[in-house]
Amino acid sequence: MKAVARFWREKNGKVECYLCPVGCVLKEGQVGSCGVRANVGGKLYTFTYGSLSSAAVDPIEKKPLFHYLPGHRTLTIATPGCNLHCKGCQNWEISQVPKGQIFTDPFYEETFVDPSFVVDKALELGCKSISYSYSDPTIFAEYLIDVARIAREKGLKNVVVTAGYINMPALEEIDKYVDAYSVDLKFFSDEAYRTYSKGRLQPVLETLKYIFEKGKWLEITTLLVPKYLDEDQVRNIARWIANELAPWVPWHLSRFFPHYKAKDLPPTPVETLEKAYFIGREEGLHYVYVGNLWNNPYESTYCPSCSNLIIERRGFEVLRINLKNGRCPSCERVIEGVWDG
């Protein structure tokens, strides 16, 4: 649904959107890089307020969040559009909106789901949280905020799954209602961010620091994209998490499969994933996981002190939780996470 957006200002007869670091300055009728925000009559409008392209109940492990209320069901929603343009986006059919489509496709006007309906549905379906995901929730910030506010009032948690490409004023506003984040740190090279995603590295690092310093639960995911993410970057990411955030921040290494405009790239070799896992551990990270790889030993949680099995998983399924008051039952070390709530 078309609605007046937030996070913009007038600039020399145009409108400047400051929701994300792309910083589009739009003349009358022009659409932003995300494809879903446009200058109409001198105001910035979002065309996807409540225009849900996806809604599904997932295990929270699919976000991926492994240390946040494990095993619970989360109602996950998304609207079309994205402010990044990753060559290998696996959700490109909803994230990459052709320029101008918002003015002609009736989908945007005809689909509207009231925020309170989303919250009621989540409760009815026995979910403990609502996740904002699939495309990037940054570009539906206004709707996210409205749903999340009601969700919190009704006792639900809010989980944001994002590439972290957002400006501070919007992040501060969203953060008032968010309980946990799953953030992609795609590369540790500005060049790789620019060529693969049409983004930049620094704003993502700032987002991660902000979330961590606010004390919100945070897990980080890196998709191991062949040719764009080399071993040096893997090590630098692990080192940065350990030194600038904390060694106990969980890090998920995800296997790449070719999609969209990256069909020329091969899937990540299994040996590359395993090597990255050991680099993460060498750099001092306590909880490193390998994902998108069936039946691997690195998808369960082990105690960093005594290696006792704490949470056994198969894919996104939790098979067993072996925690005692948030501690390892064997050596009593605290296992960082949000285990009750």
Does the protein bind ligand SF4 through residue 20 (CB under 6 A)? Answer: yes
Contact status, residue 250 vs residue 280, Cβ threshold 8 Å = no
Q: Does residue 37 touch ligand SF4 according to CB under 6 A?
A: yes
- Closest to ligand SF4 by CB, 25 vs 293, is 25
Among 39, 53, 76, 83, interactor with ligand SF4 by CB under 6 A: 83
Q: In Å, what is the CA distance from 311 to each residue of 9, 303, 322, 337? A: 48, 9, 6, 12
Q: Interface with ligand SF4 includes 85 (CB under 6 A)?
A: no
**225-241 burial, b if ≥16 CB within 10 A, otherwise e?**
bbebbeeebbbbbbbbb
Distance of CA 129 to the CA centre of its chain: 15
Work out whether 102 is an interface residue with ligand SF4 (CB under 6 A): no
Q: How far is the CB of 139 from ligand SF4 (least distance, A)?
A: 5
Closer CB to ligand SF4, residue 32 or residue 88? 32
Q: Whose Cβ is closer to ligand SF4: residue 83's or residue 207's?
A: 83
Please tell me the distance from the alpha carbon of residue 276 to that of residue 290, in angstroms, as a whole number. 9
Minimal CB distance residue for ligand SF4: 32
199 vs 280 by CB, closer to ligand SF4 = 199
Q: In terms of Cα–Cα distance, which of 119, 204, 115, 222 is closest to 167? A: 204
Site string for ligand SF4, 136-155 (x = CB under 6 A): ---x----------------
Binding site for ligand SF4 (CB under 6 A): 17, 19-20, 22-24, 32-34, 37, 83, 139
